[in-house]
Chains A and B, each alone.
Chain A
Amino acid sequence: MGLGEILHNLVFDYTLRTVALGSGVLGVVSGALGAFAVLRRQSLLGDSVSHTALPGIAIAFLLTGAKSPLVMIIGAAVAGWAGTLLVMGIIKTTRIKSDSALGLVLSVFFGFGLVLLTFIQKMPNARQSGLETFLFGQATALMERDVIVMAVLGALAVITMLILWKEFKILSFDPEYGVTQGFPMRTVEVILTTVLVIAIVVGLQTVGVVLMSAMVVAPAAAARQWTDRLGLMIFLAALFGAIAGISGAVISSLTLRLPTGPTIVLCISAIVLVSMMLAPNRGLFWNWIRRWYNRRLLTLNAVLADMYELAKVHDDPSHAHPAATIEAMSYRTGGVRRSLDALEESGLVQRSRMDEWALTPKGMAEAEKVIKSMEVKT
């Protein structure tokens, strides 16, 4: 399928358009807001909220008998919110650490949700598929009205973030200082948590419970590699989330039996991998190259310095020495010849006879510079 055809379908094919839009919204919202969770070392909050949402959805259904997405989102949000508050309460009042508190609350709530779910399944009017597709991410079941709900709630969340930008910033960086500045940090934290829960719950329909944690963590993790500025980082996180969402939707629509949720997650994982490798400054690939380059430079300099010593001893800079001698001086046996070749290319040494090398005048000057730079500065 050509690119043109894909773009055409994106606009005109109802299913693809809806799924892509929904995934895109999900990516933007969870990427942007997830960044704050990541910065506050609460990356796994996405996982936690997704799991704790289950009993909320079930209870919402039990109470209202409706399977409308809005009702389920509200139920999920309330439960996710309650679970998060419980986690924080446990951390604050006991010696149990955050990872245990998270794992404990998420698994217990989810278990409870399962109990409710199996209870509901026995009820006459419960068509499971409604509830379960919500839970396990059936992106292809997204309808336009679902996407609209997602977009509105997502927009609310993002706007709140933009309004309370500096409050969120100081909450994430130095909450105690924020308190001394007169801001009620606990209230700000509650607002951030609420907005985050909304962002996560909105995405549950598309990627499902297990994979939601990736959509919270990965875009921000990738974005961090590219910039040191908070504003740009959040923007990039939203962008990466959107790209992964839309790509995932498109790719899974093109291939048979490729579920959308996991595809989106693999897309964002790929983005993370690329970011970690290739981002300027932090990119691992560049680090490896830099390290290799430095090592080579060190070897070159070492050989140059050795030859200088030799020249000094002989009082005649143009006296050529066999490579073996030079090799003997270096404690690193490998690479000397390679260095000599490289040095020759730069015009710093010349080969007089078979395997005998001497410094050129240019090489002498360079060698002197190297030796000087190696002296200890006083």
Chain B
Amino acid sequence: MTSAQIEIQLVAVVVAAACALPGVFLVLRRTAMMSDAISHAILLGIVIAFFITEDLASPFLVVAATLTGVLTVSLVELINKTRLVKEDAAIGLVFPALFSIGVILISRYAGDVHLDTDAVLLGELAFAPFNRLVVFGYDIGPRAFYLMGGIFLINLVFIILFFKELKLATFDAGLAAALGFSPWLIHYALMSLVSVTAVGAFDAVGSILVVALMIAPPAAAYLLTDRLSYMLVLSGLIGIVGALCGYWLAHFLDVSIAGSMATMVGVLFGAVFLMAPNRGIVAIARRKIRQKWEFAQHMLVIHLFTHEDLPEAVTECRFEHLDEHMRWDESFSHRVVDRAEKQGFVKCRDGFLNLTEKGRGLARGIIVK
């Protein structure tokens, strides 16, 4: 591995970790699409800052972009307050307008339109309009590592310091307000972090990957755990693994690194979606099937129990009667009875079904509950 490759992977790891942290709260607070909105809208901030400083490397860009991110959030909140449109519509109104202004500014005052719009969306060429020399794969230098590393630490420190406030404000904003923690302030602080992270990552990997890294790993973690602290750690891990796998995939296929990383975290999410214990699709399907059979067993046992000592027992407890009483078709009835026999609840003799003592115990237990 060359040192450049190592550097790139280090940056990837740091970006993934930095994005995962605020991403957890975005997912929990149902404001995930704000990451998409912010990462598009900050183009405007970057453009304006560039016009003022004429310097790509100026930290002022980060500041301006962050402010734009906060502006986006404020505008959305403002629109929400009027209650004239729904919340999701407010987001969809604000960021395209800001993004459009950004694109127009670029094309009027900073060069070739075609290239610029490309650049913004494809990411790796994020600063091409600003005349930076970009060679594929080498626009991610140590500067990005330190920038994102710093941002990661800021995010981490913020979350550790305000863990209980964040937790409370996320799950019960009303209570948080009553206790004196301003949920409003927390919301803006969080959004500022998202903006800063998006800006830093924008430089390295582009806007779309930021969204992917902020949402996919936390969403996957959400399906794996119920504890906030675990969710934070898991998101970071999933993000890091996805980013590394993505890098290597891109390396071997010689394709977009950012795109690869986004794809891999998506694949990881897909895996969790299918296979998560309890919440995964497979687990849910298994559970449904198990419930169906269990329920049928219970019905059978209770039916026999309640009819056992009655004169009608002769007809009611016959196998053929099952499809009439339970409306099960014959093959289903066969399987239910087979299972019941195997489990020792029932004995079938000449088409007549007898409850065993174990079966009676089961029936009694159900009725009592």
Chain A contacts to B: CB under 8 angstroms: 38, 41-44, 46-47, 51, 90, 93-97, 99-104, 106-119, 122, 129, 132-133, 135-138, 208-211, 213-214, 216-218, 220-221, 224-225, 256-259, 261-263, 265-266, 269, 272, 276, 282, 284
Contact status of A107 and B36, CB under 8 A, knowing A115-B260, A259-B117: yes
Contact between B99 and A104, CB atoms less than 8 A apart: no
Interface residues of B in 214-269 (CB under 8 A from A): 214-216, 218-219, 222-223, 250, 253-256, 258-263, 265-266, 269
- Which chain A positions have C-beta within 8 A of B211? 103, 106-107
- Which chain A positions have C-beta within 8 A of B209? 107, 111
Contact between B223 and A111, CB atoms less than 8 A apart: no
Contact status of A115 and B118, CB under 8 A, knowing A107-B208, A210-B96: no
Select which of B104, B117, B208, B269 is within 8 A of A136 by beta carbon. B117
Question: Taking each of B218, B262, B269, which has the highest tally of chain A beta carbons within 10 Å of its own beta carbon?
Answer: B262
Is B296 positioned at the interface, with any CB of A under 8 Å from its CB? no
Which 8 pairs of residues, A with B, have the shortest CB-CB distance? A111-B262, A114-B259, A108-B266, A262-B100, A214-B96, A107-B212, A217-B92, A107-B211
Contact status of A93 and B281, CB under 8 A, knowing A42-B88, A259-B104, A269-B96: yes
CB distance from B31 to the nearest CB of A (A): 7
Closest to A275 in B: B84
Contact status of A266 and B269, CB under 8 A, knowing A100-B219, A103-B211: no
Closest to B96 in A: A214
What's the Cα separation between A38 and B265 when bound, in Å? 29
Contact status of A276 and B216, CB under 8 A, knowing A107-B211, A114-B258: no
Is B113 positioned at the interface, with any CB of A under 8 Å from its CB? yes
What's the Cα separation between A269 and B94 when bound, in Å? 9
Contact between A97 and B117, CB atoms less than 8 A apart: no
What's the Cα separation between A256 and B262 when bound, in Å? 37
Contact between A257 and B108, CB atoms less than 8 A apart: yes
Contact between A115 and B263, CB atoms less than 8 A apart: yes
Is B175 positioned at the interface, with any CB of A under 8 Å from its CB? no
Contacts A47-B33, A213-B92, A217-B92 aside, 5 further interface pairs with beta carbons under 8 A come to A96-B223, A118-B255, A209-B121, A214-B92, A217-B93
Contact between A257 and B100, CB atoms less than 8 A apart: no
Closest to B109 in A: A257
Contact status of A108 and B86, CB under 8 A, knowing A95-B222, A259-B107: no
Contact between B27 and A43, CB atoms less than 8 A apart: no
What's the Cα separation between A119 and B258 when bound, in Å? 13
Is B177 positioned at the interface, with any CB of A under 8 Å from its CB? no
- Which chain B positions have C-beta within 8 A of A269? 93, 96-97, 100
What's the Cα separation between A109 and B85 when bound, in Å? 29
Is B160 positioned at the interface, with any CB of A under 8 Å from its CB? no
Is B91 positioned at the interface, with any CB of A under 8 Å from its CB? yes
What's the Cα separation between A276 and B254 when bound, in Å? 49
What's the Cα separation between A96 and B368 when bound, in Å? 37
- Which chain A positions have C-beta within 8 A of B35? 103
- Which chain A positions have C-beta within 8 A of B33? 44, 47, 99, 102-103
Contact between B273 and A94, CB atoms less than 8 A apart: yes
Is B67 positioned at the interface, with any CB of A under 8 Å from its CB? no
- Which chain B positions have C-beta within 8 A of A137? 117
Contact status of A221 and B121, CB under 8 A, knowing A103-B33, A103-B35: no
Contact status of A94 and B215, CB under 8 A, knowing A111-B263, A112-B259, A118-B259: no
Chain B contacts to A: CB under 8 angstroms: 26-27, 30-33, 35-36, 40, 82, 84-86, 88-89, 91-93, 96-97, 99-101, 103-104, 107-108, 113-114, 117-118, 120-123, 208-209, 211-212, 214-216, 218-219, 222-223, 250, 253-256, 258-263, 265-266, 269, 273, 279, 281, 284
Contact between B256 and A117, CB atoms less than 8 A apart: yes
Select which of B32, B113, B260, B266 is within 8 A of A99 by beta carbon. B32
- Which chain B positions have C-beta within 8 A of A46? 92
What's the Cα separation between A266 and B253 when bound, in Å? 40
What's the Cα separation between A38 and B87 when bound, in Å? 10
Cross-chain pairs A/B with CB under 8 angstroms, 22 sampled: A41-B86, A44-B36, A51-B208, A96-B219, A97-B30, A99-B30, A99-B31, A103-B33, A103-B214, A108-B216, A110-B262, A111-B260, A114-B256, A122-B254, A133-B114, A210-B121, A214-B97, A216-B92, A224-B84, A269-B96, A272-B93, A284-B84
Question: Taking each of A47, A117, A138, A225, which has the highest tally of chain B beta carbons within 10 Å of its own beta carbon?
Answer: A47
Contact status of A111 and B222, CB under 8 A, knowing A99-B32, A100-B32: no
What's the Cα separation between A258 and B103 when bound, in Å? 9
CB distance from B263 to the nearest CB of A (A): 4
Contact status of A265 and B121, CB under 8 A, knowing A44-B91, A94-B223, A258-B107: no
Closest to B266 in A: A108
CB distance from A142 to the nearest CB of B (A): 15
Select which of B84, B86, B117, B250 is within 8 A of A276 by beta carbon. B84
What's the Cα separation between A213 and B35 when bound, in Å? 15
Contact between B84 and A282, CB atoms less than 8 A apart: yes
Contact between B99 and A211, CB atoms less than 8 A apart: yes
- Which chain A positions have C-beta within 8 A of B92? 43-44, 46-47, 213-214, 216-218
- Which chain B positions have C-beta within 8 A of A38? 85-86, 89
Contact between A104 and B219, CB atoms less than 8 A apart: yes
Contact between B27 and A100, CB atoms less than 8 A apart: yes
Contact status of A114 and B253, CB under 8 A, knowing A41-B88, A208-B117, A257-B107: no
Contact between A111 and B104, CB atoms less than 8 A apart: no
Contact between A284 and B30, CB atoms less than 8 A apart: no
- Which chain A positions have C-beta within 8 A of B262? 107-108, 110-112, 114
Question: Taking each of A114, A221, A259, which has the highest tally of chain B beta carbons within 10 Å of its own beta carbon?
Answer: A114
Contact status of A221 and B89, CB under 8 A, knowing A51-B208, A96-B222, A265-B100: yes
Closest to B218 in A: A100
